[in-house]
Structure 1
Amino acid sequence: MEPSLEVVTGRRQRRRFVDLARRFRGGSACYVPPLTGEIARLLDPDRNPALRRARRRLWIARGPDGEPRGRIGAYWDPRHAEALGEPCGWFGFFDADGPETTAALLAAARDWLREQGARALLGPADPDTNHECGCLIEGADEIPYLMMPHHPPEYAGWLEGAGLAKARDLLAFETVAERMREPLARLDRVADKALARGGYRLEPIRRRGFRAAMKAAHEVYNSAWRDNWGFLPLDFDEFWFEARGMKPLLDPRLAWLAWRGREPVGVIVALPDANLALKEIDSRLLPTGILRLPFLLRRIRRIRTVMLGVKAEHRHRGLDLALVQRLVRCGLEAGYTASEMSWVLEDNEVMVSLARRYGGRLSRRYRLYRGSLA
């Protein structure tokens, strides 16, 4: 029987909506639940500045007995029309118990997005490409790195069965210390020459002065990513809303800004993979998780590179390699043993080549789907 759909309103319902992910994904030993408060904050229009410029709607699907059978969100930001070349809306926060529920949820998202003026929908993304996105289609047998999603293997087939087709694949590359030591000596030489020849200097990003560093990173971000498919430039308040969540995990040995004079021209940021710590406490801070978390975080030995970019006018000068070299060298000296670069667009030949050249193996593949609303 087709489920009934309930529109989510109010803070309490939003938290229930967020918690449903555990119900549908918790059967996998590799799933790491998000911190409920963080996702609820992302969905709160009073706290998330992006929702002052965009609109979103959330639904919970219920069976005749009132039990949840799935959930979905739809997100409309007119700025995506310019970024993607067509008026596209997004769907995300998707979970379902089968094909029938999937079809009903997508129908609701399609109808609402069509009313907003969209002519196509993309997803899953929570809620767009600046956050967790893509449906996991390869690599479900490993615990994902920080801020990367994990889905039951059936989801891809259900989405395709509901009429969606591949838009883009997003790739994750993992490397371990043993594979990095040999190319690192060569990378050291390349980095030294690039910094000297270009007049660049690298400075660590620290907790003290973090906001000022993020203003510089924001400038690089909007320039370096502007030609990427699906990229949406962020105002600083939107960028800061996301970036400040990194501060508690910040290790200055893993985060660097590149400067030429007073101009920020490149950035690389990796974070200790807090997913391993959150897994230990089932992502529950109370009653004792908040006390155990600092100890667990100190034991983490793998990192995820969440940001790597160089302004267009400073590319092809070896600066990207200099940033990677500094991260790898300092990360190894700090005792980290594994790293993931994610996500990387499948057609970003420069980044795919860089990842493979320095020992990266394709560890996970995520798929963004598209459907017409015409």
Structure 2
Amino acid sequence: MSSISVIPVSTKAQQKAFVHFVWDHYQGDPNWVPPLVHNVKELLNYKKHPFYDDAECQTFLAMDGDKVVGRIAAIIDHNHNRHHDELRGMFGFFESIDDQDVANALFDAAKKWFSDKGIGLMRGPANPSQNYEWGMLVEGFHSPPTFLMTYNKPYYDKLVLGYGFEQSQDLYSYNAPVEMLENLDPKLLFVATEATKRFNVDVRPVSKKEFAKDVGIFLKIYNSALQAQWGFTPMSEGELSSTATNLKFLIATEMTSVAEVDGKAVGIVFGLLDYNPLIKKINGKLYPFGWLRLLWGRKKLKRVRLMSTNVSPEYQRWGLGIVLMARMVPEVLKWGIDEGEFSWVLESNKLSRGTLERSGLTSDKTFRIYDYTPS
């Protein structure tokens, strides 16, 4: 496409065009779910967000004349680069028509922006980091995404590889029909029972009255539990506080568990109801009344995403993850949940994948992270 141009976003009108491009781009796709506009603006640094206390972002639009045909965000996560002792830029929020020239122009713009700051390595998609929405869907286009999981056009993998990126790591989601949760494998049930006895574990839901305290517990366990995970970057207190504030009214504490040993929290799991069917109805607009429709409609939701099961390192191989899940099962059944989704799980996380697959679960969606190394 010879008439393509890429412009850095600098005005409110361009920011609006960047955010709203996806409505036209996915028009008619029954599986697409609109983003929550307010949240996207924060994660793009169009509105204040604590992630950008230690990060930078520049967004770009690909134009064919006056028509938007693609977009990309170039992100420098200084926290990630310090933690991994590297200079790497992240690309995110990538969208493009099915045209390699358009994709190339977008990646060129991001690469130059990084290069001007002394950065050559690229990774993505990160929206805006591993601690938020991560990865590009490459398998599993048969159904809509669950809440806070990515969705994209099937040809994106071709465009990214066509530019010169290489597959770096895959992420999997596992679908769990409720009857599989109800009938836990006897071997896993034995592990859960023995772990409870061995450590005298007490398990409870997240407290509504002391929500802030339990959020702090989550941060401590999350940042310690995932230290060895590929690509992990610790989440800051400000980031977690912002995320908790945004999600507090959406969290059903029935879908959470905290494991304590001798009064000390050593494991926590958060399940989030799949709000996407309701988000489609409000077209991604929380205000002025969209959030009320989410609250009023949540009792009818029949799917839950098990998005974060974290256990302190010294307890990780003793089955406490199963203990955490076992507490939730009766409440999940009482709610009327039909199915759950464990997502996402890194291909290199053999412990979690092994536990899920021994339970009889199979991956039904695959997401991909790509790396680019300049020649």
* TM-score range for the pair, normalised by the shorter chain length: over 0.9
Task: Find the counterpart in structure 1 of residue 88 from structure 2.
Answer: 88
Q: Cα–Cα, structure 1 residues 235 and 321, in superposed 2: closer, same or farther, change >3 Å?
A: same
Task: Find the counterpart in structure 1 of residue 361 from structure 2.
Answer: 360
TM superposition shift of 1:82: 4.2
Task: Find the counterpart in structure 2 of residue 61 from structure 1.
Answer: 62
- Is 1:72 the counterpart of 2:72? The answer is yes
Task: Kindly indicate whether the alpha-carbon contact (under 8 Å) linking 1:83 and 1:230 is maintained by their aligned counterparts in 2.
Answer: no
Q: Cα–Cα, structure 1 residues 26 and 78, in superposed 2: closer, same or farther, change >3 Å?
A: same
Number of residue pairs matched by the alignment: 373
Task: Kindly indicate whether the alpha-carbon contact (under 8 Å) linking 1:15 and 1:36 is maintained by their aligned counterparts in 2.
Answer: no
What is the CA–CA distance in structure 2 between the aligned matches of 1:81 and 1:288, rounded to whole Å?
Answer: 40
Task: Kindly indicate whether the alpha-carbon contact (under 8 Å) linking 1:218 and 1:239 is maintained by their aligned counterparts in 2.
Answer: yes
Task: Kindly indicate whether the alpha-carbon contact (under 8 Å) linking 1:28 and 1:152 is maintained by their aligned counterparts in 2.
Answer: no
What is the CA–CA distance in structure 2 between the aligned matches of 1:113 and 1:306, rounded to whole Å?
Answer: 31
TM superposition shift of 1:246: 2.0
Task: Kindly indicate whether the alpha-carbon contact (under 8 Å) linking 1:265 and 1:314 is maintained by their aligned counterparts in 2.
Answer: yes
Detail structure 1 runs of 4+ shifted over 6 Å in the superposition.
none
Task: Kindly indicate whether the alpha-carbon contact (under 8 Å) linking 1:221 and 1:309 is maintained by their aligned counterparts in 2.
Answer: yes
- Is 1:274 the counterpart of 2:272? The answer is no
Q: Which amino acid aligns with 2:94?
A: F
TM superposition shift of 1:100: 0.9
TM superposition shift of 1:324: 1.8
What is the CA–CA distance in structure 1 between the aligned matches of 2:309 and 2:86, rounded to whole Å?
Answer: 27
Task: Find the counterpart in structure 2 of residue 165 from structure 1.
Answer: 166
Q: Following superposition of structure 1 onto structure 2, how do residues 60-209 of structure 1 map, counting pairs within 5 Å? A: 60-64=61-65, 66-84=66-84, 86-97=86-97, 98-183=99-184, 187-209=188-210
TM superposition shift of 1:285: 4.4
TM superposition shift of 1:248: 1.3
1:19-46: CA deviation from partner (whole Å, max 9, x where unpaired): 1122223332100011111111222366
TM superposition shift of 1:247: 1.0
Task: Kindly indicate whether the alpha-carbon contact (under 8 Å) linking 1:180 and 1:359 is maintained by their aligned counterparts in 2.
Answer: no
Q: Secondary structure at 1:249's aligned position in 2?
A: coil
What is the CA–CA distance in structure 2 between the aligned matches of 1:291 and 1:241, rounded to whole Å?
Answer: 20
TM-score, L = length of structure 1: 0.94
What is the CA–CA distance in structure 1 between the aligned matches of 2:262 and 2:56, rounded to whole Å?
Answer: 41
After superposing the two structures, state which structure 1 stretch, 243-252 or 50-59, moved more.
Answer: 243-252
TM superposition shift of 1:189: 4.4
What is the CA–CA distance in structure 2 between the aligned matches of 1:27 and 1:100, rounded to whole Å?
Answer: 24
1:344-371: CA deviation from partner (whole Å, max 9, x where unpaired): 1012111111122223221110111111
**Structure 1: segments with no counterpart, 5+ residues:** none
Q: Cα–Cα, structure 1 residues 208 and 227, in superposed 2: closer, same or farther, change >3 Å?
A: same
- Is 1:342 the counterpart of 2:343? The answer is yes
Task: Find the counterpart in structure 1 of residue 298 from structure 2.
Answer: 297
What is the CA–CA distance in structure 2 between the aligned matches of 1:275 and 1:6, rounded to whole Å?
Answer: 32
After superposing the two structures, state which structure 1 stretch, 181-190 or 17-26, moved more.
Answer: 181-190
Q: Secondary structure at 1:359's aligned position in 2?
A: coil
Q: Cα–Cα, structure 1 residues 152 and 271, in superposed 2: closer, same or farther, change >3 Å?
A: same
